[in-house]
Structure 1
Amino acid sequence: MLMSGNGERVVFVLDAPGDESLHTGGTIARLLHDGAEVTVLFGSATPNESDASASTAASAAAVAAARTALGETDPTRWRVLAGAPQGVERRAVLVEAFALANATAVVAAVVDPALRQAAVDAAGEQGVPVFLSSRVSAVPGERLAAIDVSDNVDRKLAALAAYPGRWQLDGRVVRLDDGSEVLVTGTESYARGSGPAQPAVLEAPTAGSRLLAALMAAAAGALFGILGTVAHQTTFELGSLTIPLGLTLALLASGTLLLGLRLVVHDRLIVLAAAIGLIATVFLLSLRSTGGSVLVPAGVLGTVWTMAPALFAALVIAWPRIPARRPTA
C-alpha cells in the first residue's frame, strides 16, 4: 500500500460495483501501473437491491469497462463475495480470499459497518495491514496517509464514466443521486485500521529496559555458573563405565540458558551479558582459594567445564539471525 514496488498484492473490499472507481480508483490504477497485483471484492452485486435500475448501473459490462479503464486485464480478480454471506461466514470468506491472494495489504472502502469490520478482522487474522478509505470511514482527528494519484486521474474518470446509472460526471465533478457532489482530486486518503483480531504492535525496547534485562541475564548466567561448577565433578558408575552426570547436566543447563535467550529475546546484548556472567563465574571459581581448596580440579571434567561454555556462547552469539519466510498462499 506504500507503493514499495511490484511485489505488492493488495485486496480492495467495497460495498458494490462503482465504489471501487469513486473511492479508490486512483489508488487501484497506480498500483496496477506499478506492477502490483490488485484484487477487488464486492459485498453485493448492486448498490441497492430494491432498485430495479441498479442492475443496469452495475451490469457486467459496466464493471468490465471500469476494470479496463483502471488497467486490470484479468476479470477473475474482480468478483462479488460468494453468496453475499453475513457475520462469521462473511469473515471466513474474506479470510479465504485474502489467503488466496496472498495479500500484503487490505483496503476497505465500505459503508456497511458489518462488512467493514469483517474485512478488518479478516485482515488481522491473516496478519496483514488494513487501510480504511477516509471517504467512507473518516474519524475526526485520526491520522491519514494521502496517496498521490494525480497521474491516474484520467483513468479514474474513465472508470467513473462506466457507471452512468449511479451518477452524473461533469468534468471532475461527480453528482450523486442524493444531490451531493464529489470532486475528483489527485489524492486519495486512508487511515490505518485496527481490530480485535489484529496482532499487537510491539514497542522497541528502551536503553533502560535493555540494561535491566542485561543485568538480570548476567545474574542468571552467574547462578548457572555456580551450580554447574559445584555439580560438574559428579559422576555415576554404571558397571565399568563412569558417566559424567554432573558435567552433562551443567553443560545442558548453561547451553539451554544461552540458546533460549537468543531464540526468545532476539537481542545479542542480553545473550552476551548472560555469557559473561556464566564464564566469569566459572573462571573465578576455578581459581585456588586462600585456603588452598579448588572447585575445578585439573582433569578432563574441569577442562571441559571451563572451555565448553565459552565456545557455546561464542557460537550462539555469532549465529546469524535468519529472517522468517513469508508463507505462500
Structure 2
Amino acid sequence: MLFVHAHPDDETISTGGTIARLIDDGTAVTVLSCTRGECGEIVPPELQHLLGDGDAIAVHRETEIAEAMKILGVTDHRWLGGRDARMVDRDPRRYRDSGMVWGGFGPELGPDLPADALCVADAGEVAADIATVIASVGATAVVSYDANGGYGHPDHIAAHSAARHAARVMNVPYYEIVAPGTLRPQDLSDPDVSVVDIAPVRARKLAALRAHRSQLTVDGDRIVMSGGQIDEIGSVEAFRREGHPVAHRDWSDYSRRARVLACALAVVVGATLGALGTVNHQVSVDLFGASGPIGLVLGLLVVTATLAGLRLIFDNRVVVGFASVALLVVIAVLAAESTGGSVLIPDSTIAYGWLYGTVIVVAVVLAWPKLSHPRRGNIVGSTQPKGFTSP
C-alpha cells in the first residue's frame, strides 16, 4: 500500500490508524511525503524561533515524522523527489511546501510562493516520480486525497492529481480519503466505500499525532491545529475507491469557489449556445430537391448534448439550471422584435421549432430524476481493514 501525503502530519491525521492496522496485519506500507512542510505554523512557544526559517522548520519536521513513523510501525518512508522516489535518469530534487492563506473562497496560495513549490511543479514530473515509487515497491493500491484535497489546500490538491494519475498509469486502484464526519448512512452500504475500525490501534495514532507537536496539540479526543482549528479524532477512517469519480461527488462536496466557477461557466456556455443557435437555426441545405433545416436540427442536438452532459457530470440541477436560464434569456432577447421587426427569429415554422424546441429540451433535462450509478469495490469490516485489493 502506498500512501501519498502533502506534508508531515497529514499521514497520521487522516490515515494513521489504517496504516497501523495494515502493518499489524502484515501488509507492506510505504508512506510518501511530497514536501517537508516548510511553511507550517508553529504551536509550542519553545519552537517559535523556527518561524520564518523554512529550512529549519523542514529539518525539525523531518524528526517529527520519523518518530511518528516509528510509532505507527512504518519502515519505508520516502520524500518525493529523493533518490528512492524519483523517475529514472533524473537527479534528485526537492518539492517545497507551497504555503496557504485563507481567502474569501477558502484556502489560497500564499503571496511568497517558492519557485520549487509542489503546486507549481510540472504535473507530469510529479506523477512520474510517484509512479516510480509504485513500481519500485510493487504497490497494489494508492491512497491519497479527494479532488478538493480534503479541505482545499493547494498542495493537497496537487498531491491528489499526481497520485491519481500515477495510479491510473500504473493500473492500480486509487482510494481517496473520506473525512469520517462526512460519512452518510448510505455510504455504509456503498461497496466503493471502505471503513476501517481503528479502535485497536487508536493509542498508537494518538502517540504518533503527539510526535507532530510543532503543528498540533492532542487534547483528549480532539486535535487542535496550529491555526486554532479543532478536529475530532474518530474511531474510524474511511476511503472511497475511484471507479466513477464524477458520479460519486455530490454538489456539496465541491468547494464554494468551485461551485461558483462551475455556475459562471455554465452561464457562459448557455449564453453561447443561445446566441449561436439563434443566429444559425435558419440555415438549410438542399437534399434530393428538398430543403432540410440543418441549422435547427444541429442547434437542438448541440443544446441537448450540452445540457444532458452537464446534468450527467454534476448529477444535479444547479449547474444545468444556470446554463438553461442563460440559454433561454439570450434566445428571448434575440427574439424580441427590433425596429423593423425581428430578423434573427422570423415568423416561421423553423423559428418556432427553435423557440419551443429549446424549451422542451430544457424541461426534459431538468425534470429527469437523479441517476443511479454502478458501484464496485468492497466494504471494510469492523475488525479487519480489507477492501484494498487489486481488480
**TM score, norm. by length of structure 1:** 0.51
Deviates more, 1:106-115 or 1:51-60: 51-60
Deviation at residue 59 of structure 1 after TM alignment: 2.4
* Unpaired runs of at least 5, structure 2: 42-50, 82-92, 96-120, 246-391
Amino acid at match of 2:12: S
Asked if 1 retains the 8 angstrom alpha-carbon contact of 2:180 and 2:237, the reply is: no
* Matching residue within 170, 173, 189 for 1:126: 170
Q: In structure 2, which of residues 208, 223, 226 is the aligned counterpart of residue 177 of structure 1?
A: 226
Letter in 1 for 2:73: G
How far is the alpha carbon of 1:171 from its aligned partner? 1.7
Q: Distance in 2 between matches of 1:156 and 1:98?
A: 25
Name the residue aligned to 2:313: none
Q: 2:110 corresponds to which residue?
A: none
Aligned to 2:122: 86
Deviation digits for residues 229-251 of structure 1, max 9, x if unmatched? xxxxxxxxxxxxxxxxxxxxxxx
Map of 2:143 onto structure 1: 107
Q: Is the 8 A contact 1:23 1:133 kept in 2?
A: yes
Are the aligned partners of 2:18 and 2:237 in contact in 1 as well (CA < 8 Å)?
yes
Contact 2:180 2:236 in 1 (8 A): no
Aligned residue in 2 for 1:63: 65
Residues 94-142 of structure 1 deviation map (CA, whole Å, 9 limit, x = unaligned): 1111011101111103552222011111101111111111139979887
Relative distance call for 1:49 and 1:153 in structure 2 (3 A) is closer
Shift of the alpha carbon at 1:56? 3.9
Aligned pair in 2 of structure 1 residues 95, 132: CA closer, same or farther (>3 Å)? same
1:164 to 1:90, Cα distance in 2 relative to 1, 3 A: same
Aligned pairs (5 A) from 1:282-321: none
8 Å CA contact 2:4–2:31 kept in 1: the answer is: yes
Amino acid aligned to 2:65:
V
The answer as to whether partners of 2:175 and 2:239 remain within 8 angstroms in 1 is yes
Question: In structure 2, what is the equivalent of residue 201 of structure 1?
Answer: none
Match of 1:5 in 2: none
Q: Compared with structure 1, are the counterparts of its residues 189 and 139 closer, same or farther at alpha carbon in structure 2 (3 Å cutoff)?
A: closer
Residue matched to 1:52: 52
Matched-pair contact (CA < 8 Å) for 1:124–1:195: no
Partner Cα distance (2:182, 2:39) in 1: 23
1:15 corresponds in structure 2 to 6
CA distance in 2, matches of 1:33, 1:159: 16
Are 1:159 and 2:208 an aligned pair? yes
- Tell me, what secondary structure is at the counterpart of 1:17? coil
* Deviation (angstroms), 1:86: 3.1
Seen in structure 2, the aligned counterparts of structure 1 residues 63 and 165 have a Cα distance that, compared at 3 Å, is same
Compare CA radii of gyration and give the structure with the larger one. Answer: 1
Please, which of 130, 150, 155 is the counterpart of residue 199 of structure 2?
150
* Superposition pairs of residues 162-241 of structure 1, within 5 angstroms: 162-194=211-243
Matched residues in 2 for 1:63 and 1:20: separation?
9
Question: Could you say if the C-alpha distance between residues 60 and 93 of structure 1 is closer, same or farther in structure 2, counting changes exceeding 3 Å?
Answer: same
Structure 1 residues 102 and 23: CA distance shift in structure 2, 3 A: same
The residue aligned with 2:17 is 26
The verdict on how the C-alpha distance between 1:56 and 1:47 changes in structure 2, with shifts beyond 3 A counting, is closer
Matched, 1:42 2:86: no
Measure how far apart 1:49 and its partner are: 6.5
> Could you tell me which of 98, 101, 104 is aligned with 2:134?
98
